[in-house]
Amino acid sequence: MVVKTQSKGHGLTGLHVGASNVRRYFPKDASVIELQLDHLQIQCGLEPNFWQDRPEIHDPRLNAWLESKRMKEKTNQSSILLAMIPSGKNSYRLQPVSSSPQLRTKAVTGPIALELIG
């Protein structure tokens, strides 16, 4: 799935997962997920309103990793697209889309689609 960074100001950057991704990829009984950020694995709590009106993930370690990616790519964009790839039960690998050799875009007539090459 493709997610994007979301800045709440004051150095609070998290992930906006999107309501359709939440319904499709996250079991309602999950209160914690694991994220693989390069060589770091962290656990992030999911707020109760994650499944209703705030499909977002926030964590100080995630924030630091996202900000380091923004600096590395030297981008001033308000949000960055990331691939959030399921890697086990309630576990996901996160990586920038632009530097991901495993993802490629496919031409479609509807919304943009990403295909995993594996």
DSSP letter (8 states) at residue 21: H
Please state, in angstroms and rounded to a whole number, the distance separating the CA atoms of residues 23 and 69: 27
Is residue 68 helix, strand or coil? helix
pTM of the model: 0.74
Q: By CB neighbour count within 10 A (0-12 exposed, 13-18 middle, 19+ buried), where does 49 fall?
A: exposed
Report the candidate in 81, 72, 45, 71 with the shortest Cα–Cα distance to residue 60: 45
- Partnered with residue 113 across adjacent β-strands are 106
Interval 82-110 mean pLDDT: 71
- The pLDDT value given to residue 87: 92
What is the average pLDDT score of the chain? 80
Does residue 30 have a pLDDT over 50?
A: yes
pLDDT for 103: 44
